[in-house]
Every structure is written in C-alpha cells, then in structure tokens.
C-alpha cells in the first residue's frame, strides 16, 4: 500500500501551458481525504515552486531545487536546506572565473545570472534577452549580475550553482573543482549537454524524497514518484513505484516501473486513481 506520492512539476503536474487540470486537483484532494499524502519535488526554486503547490492545495512540505531544500508551503518556511559553505562557493566560482561561461547562482528565492560576454547568455535558455524578457525576469526573481566581483558578494545561502559553456571548458572547470576539497559537492553533467549542475551532496531528487519520507515516517517502498525528465531518474529508480509520464523521453520511460498518460492527458490524476484510489 502506498502512502506518499511525490510529483515533479514541469512536464508532470502542470500541462504545457503551466496549468493544473481540475481533474488533477480533484484527484489530489481525494487522495488526501483517503489518508494519502501528495507533495512535490521539483528543480524549481522556492519562489517558482510555492505558487504551484498552493494552487494544487498541497499542504505537505515540498522539495525544491532538485530536493536541496524542503519548504513548508503553509508557512513558506524552510524546514531543511543543503547550502554550500563559503569555501565551496569560492572553489566553484574560482574554477569558472575568467572562462567563457554562463553562471547561475540559486539562493532559494532568487536566480543570480552572469556571463562576461554577451554571447555566453545563449545558455540562459529561459530568457531571450529582450527588454520585455528582462522585465518579466526581474519580476520573477531573476537578477543579472554585472561582474565576477559582484557575483562573489552574494551572501544569501547558496543551494545550487549552474555553469554552462563549451564542452572542453566545462570539463576543465569540473576537473579544477574536483582537485579541491569537494567531498561534500555533487557535480551532475548528465542533465543537460554543456551544463554542470552543482549541489551539496544529497541535493538530488532521490535524496529529497528520502528526507520527505523521513519527515513523514514513511518508507521509500511506500512511496510513488512521478516525473518526465533526467533529473527525475534517481527518484523514479529509488521509490517503491517510479512512474514516468507519457510525454517523457523513451529512455526515462524504460527505467520507470509504470508509464502513465502525458501531462496533457491528466497522467498524474490517472496514476493517483490507479495506485491510491484503486479506480
């Protein structure tokens, strides 16, 4: 019997227009009324994840930034966060400084973005660099940094650093970081080509789901996870039942225990009905 369902957001809980269907919201409510728990573990930061959790009426703690942070959506308080030490931040930024790269520092609520040359902003795939795009980005919690010195002055807790550039440059940066004291650092380079996603160890969705299980006193074997992208693979593999969306790449569907319908076809609701409500 499953007790906990952990959902990815993009490509999973929401459709391609960013909406949550009425059927999905109703099914989540039915699962919770039956005694089950439904929550989220997403690559989004806190600022971007909370509105979705509130819209879905999710009251349980959620995992943000690939599970690096657990947040209570009812109080907006951080329950637990895996933040870098100042030494680790300096190690990572020093390895990247002076290289032709795009850097993004995630402090939980704000994305701080920087590239020394305009051409490197091509890796900033969520902003087309138009005036309107920059205004929308600012309102949405994105800050564009002017230089390395300003980037190093970011004092908020840092939960993730993303570095993007040419393959050989990225490989050099990774090797430089690994020559330092990086025993508490995870570097993932398999999520997107030419990108390094750098977190504290445990800053991945499988670990985030495990901490959610610990919080609720639920075994991982009693947990269902649902996702559609590469950063979901570890939580799909570790959960009692890993469910891939119908819109997920074939390689992700192959590692899943079950494949539901797509995010445009109420895939989350259908899976919850099948495995929690036994419809």
**String of DSSP letters for 235-273:** HHHHSSEEEE-TTS-HHHHHHSSEE---TTTTHHHHHHI
**Residue showing tokens 């600012």:** 138
* Arithmetic mean of pLDDT, 53-74: 97
Which ranges in the chain are annotated with CATH 3.40.50.1000? Answer: 4-81+204-277
User: Contact, 104 vs 112, CB < 8 A?
Assistant: yes
Other CB atoms within 10 Å distance of the CB of residue 99 = 17
Superfamily of domain 4-81+204-277: HAD superfamily/HAD-like (3.40.50.1000)
Q: Is the pLDDT of residue 210 over 90?
A: yes
How far, rounded to the nearest angstrom, does the alpha carbon of residue 166 sit from its chain's CA centroid? 23
Residues of the chain with CATH 3.30.1240.10: 86-200
Q: Is the pLDDT of residue 59 over 80?
A: yes
Chain-wide mean pLDDT for the chain? 94
SS3 content of the chain, % helix, strand, coil (to 5): 40, 20, 40
DSSP state of 61: -
128-166 confidence digits (pLDDT tens): 677 777 777 878 889 999 999 999 999 889 999 999 999
**pLDDT tens track for 16-34:** 999 999 999 999 999 999 9
pLDDT at residue 128, as a whole number: 67
Highest mean pLDDT among 5-9, 149-153, 199-203: 5-9
Are 260 and 95 a contacting pair, CB within 8 Å?
A: no
- For the entire predicted model, the pTM comes to 0.93
Decide: 109 and 64 in contact? Cβ < 8 Å. Answer: no
At 39, is the pLDDT very low, low, confident or very high (cuts 50, 70, 90)? very high
Report residue 190's pLDDT band, with 50, 70 and 90 as the boundaries.
confident
Give the chain's end-to-end CA distance (angstroms, integer). Answer: 14
Mean of pLDDT values over 257-278: 96
Q: What is the DSSP letter of 84?
A: P
Contact 9, 44 (CB under 8 A): yes
Mean pLDDT over residues 72-79, rounded? 96
User: Which residues have C-beta within 8 Å of that of residue 217, sequence separation ≥ 6?
Assistant: none
- Here the tokens at position 79 are 């329950």
* Mean pLDDT confidence for 60-89: 96
The closest of 279, 238, 276 to 257, measured between CA atoms, is: 238
> What is the band of 65 on the pLDDT scale with cuts at 50, 70, 90?
very high
Flag whether pLDDT at 115 surpasses 90. Answer: yes
Rounded CA gap, 200 and 189, in Å?
14
d(CA 110, CA 152): 15
Residues of the chain with pLDDT > 70: what percent?
Answer: 99
CATH fold for the domain made of 86-200: 3.30.1240
């Amino acid at each position: 019997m499953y007790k906990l369902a952990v959902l990815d957001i993009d490509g999973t809980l929401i459709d391609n227009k960013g909406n949550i269907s009425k059927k999905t919201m109703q099914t989540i409510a039915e699962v919770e009324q039956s005694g089950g728990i439904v929550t989220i573990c997403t690559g989004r930061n806190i600022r971007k994840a909370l509105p979705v959790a509130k819209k879905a009426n999710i009251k349980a703690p959620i995992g943000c930034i690939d599970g690096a942070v657990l947040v209570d959506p009812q109080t907006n308080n951080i329950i637990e966060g895996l933040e870098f030490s100042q030494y680790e931040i300096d190690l990572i930024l020093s390895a990247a400084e002076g290289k032709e790269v795009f850097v993004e520092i995630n402090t939980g609520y704000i994305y701080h973005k920087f590239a020394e040359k305009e051409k490197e902003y091509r890796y900033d795939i969520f902003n087309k660099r138009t005036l309107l795009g920059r205004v929308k980005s600012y309102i949405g919690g994105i800050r564009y940094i002017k230089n390395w010195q300003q980037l190093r002055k970011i004092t908020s807790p840092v939960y993730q650093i993303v570095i993007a550039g040419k393959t050989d440059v990225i490989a050099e940066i990774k090797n430089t970081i690994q020559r330092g004291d990086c025993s508490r650092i995870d570097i993932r380079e398999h999520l997107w080509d030419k990108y390094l996603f750098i977190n504290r160890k445990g800053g991945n969705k499988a670990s985030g789901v495990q901490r959610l299980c610990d919080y609720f006193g639920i075994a991982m074997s009693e947990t269902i996870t649902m996702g559609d992208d590469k950063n979901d693979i570890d939580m799909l593999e570790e959960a009692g039942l890993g469910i891939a969306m119908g819109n997920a790449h074939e390689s992700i569907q192959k590692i899943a225990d079950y494949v539901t319908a797509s995010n445009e076809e109420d895939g989350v609701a259908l899976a919850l009905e099948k495995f929690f409500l036994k419809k």
